[in-house]
Structure 1
Amino acid sequence: MLARLRSYRPGGRVAVRLVVVVALVSIATGVVAILTDPVSEAAGALGDVQAAAEFSGTVVGFALLVAAWGMRRGYRIASVAAAALVCLAAVHGVVQFRLASIPLVVLSLGGLAVLVLTSDRFTRSSALGPTQLGALVAIVGVCCYGTAGAYTLRAQFDELHTVADAVYFTLVTASTVGYGDIHPTTATARLFAVSLVVLGPTTVGVAVGSLFGPAIETRLSRTGRRATAYRSRDRSRDGARVVVLGVDERTARFVDRLAERARVTVVTSDERGAKRLLEGVETVETVDGDPTETRVLERARLEACDAVLVTATGDIDPAAASSAARAVTDARLVLLGGPDAAADLGADAIVDPEAVVVDAIVRATRGEADQSSSAASHSG
Structure 2
Amino acid sequence: MAPEWAGKYARWVGTRASFVSTLLVGILAVITGLANIGAGFGGSVVVFGITVPGVVRQITAFTGTISGFLLLLSAFGLRRGLQAALYAVLALLPITVAQSVLQSTNRSIPLLTLSVVTFVLVLLNRRSFDRDLDVTTTQVAALSALAGSQAYGTIGTFTLREEHFDGVNTLLDAFYFSLVTGSTVGYGDITPRTAVGELFTLSMLVLTVSSFAAVAGVVLSPLIETRLSKALGRMTQQQLELLENHVLVLGYGDLTEPILEELSGQRTVVVVTPNEERARRLTERGYTAHTGDPSDEQTQRTARIETAAAVVTATNNDAEDALAILTARELNPDVTIVAAVTQRENADKLKRAGADTVISPISLGAHFLAESALGGENVEELERRLLGDASADTDGGSNAPSE
TM-score in same-fold range (> 0.5): yes
What secondary structure sits across from 1:208 in the alignment? helix
Report the Cα offset of residue 176 of structure 1: 1.5
Q: Does 1:168 align with 2:176?
A: yes
Percent identical pairs in the alignment equals 30
Q: Deviations over 1:288-342 (max 9, x none)?
A: 6994xxxx44899x9xx86999xxxx988x9xxxxxxxxxxxxxxx889xxxxxx
Paired residues of 1:9 and 1:117 also in contact (CA < 8 A): no
Q: TM-score, normalised by structure 2?
A: 0.53
> 1:88 is matched with which residue: 86, 92, 95?
95
> 2:297 is matched with which residue: 287, 298, 302?
287
Counterparts of 2:53 and 2:296, CA distance in 1 = 63
Q: Does 1:70 align with 2:70?
A: no
Show the counterpart of 2:30: 27
Q: In 2 relative to 1, CA 288–31 (structure 1 residues): closer, same or farther, beyond 3 Å?
A: closer
Counterparts of 2:217 and 2:181, CA distance in 1 = 21
Paired residues of 1:160 and 1:182 also in contact (CA < 8 A): yes
> 2:253 is matched with which residue: 219, 227, 237?
237
Show the counterpart of 1:119: 126
1:171 aligned partner, one-letter code: L
Paired residues of 1:10 and 1:117 also in contact (CA < 8 A): no
Q: TM-score, normalised by structure 1?
A: 0.56
What secondary structure sits across from 1:70 in the alignment? helix
Show the counterpart of 2:218: 210
Counterparts of 2:40 and 2:336, CA distance in 1 = 53
1:190 aligned partner, one-letter code: E
Paired residues of 2:44 and 2:53 also in contact (CA < 8 A): no
Counterparts of 1:138 and 1:157, CA distance in 2 = 25
Counterparts of 2:42 and 2:312, CA distance in 1 = 59
Show the counterpart of 1:151: 158
Paired residues of 1:30 and 1:58 also in contact (CA < 8 A): yes
Show the counterpart of 1:59: 66
Q: Does 1:18 align with 2:18?
A: no
Q: Deviations over 1:64-90 (max 9, x none)?
A: 222222322333322332332323322
Report the Cα offset of residue 181 of structure 1: 2.9
Counterparts of 2:305 and 2:112, CA distance in 1 = 46
Q: Which runs of 5+ in 1 are unaligned?
A: 1-6, 242-261, 265-283, 319-333, 337-352, 354-370, 372-380
Q: Deviations over 1:7-59 (max 9, x none)?
A: 899311111111111111111111122122336438xx976654433323222
Report the Cα offset of residue 158 of structure 1: 2.8
Q: In 2 relative to 1, CA 141–8 (structure 1 residues): closer, same or farther, beyond 3 Å?
A: closer
Paired residues of 1:240 and 1:306 also in contact (CA < 8 A): no
What secondary structure sits across from 1:17 in the alignment? helix
Report the Cα offset of residue 194 of structure 1: 2.6
Q: Judge which range, 50-59 or 169-178, deviates more.
A: 50-59
Q: In 2 relative to 1, CA 335–226 (structure 1 residues): closer, same or farther, beyond 3 Å?
A: farther
Cα-Cα RMSD: 4.6
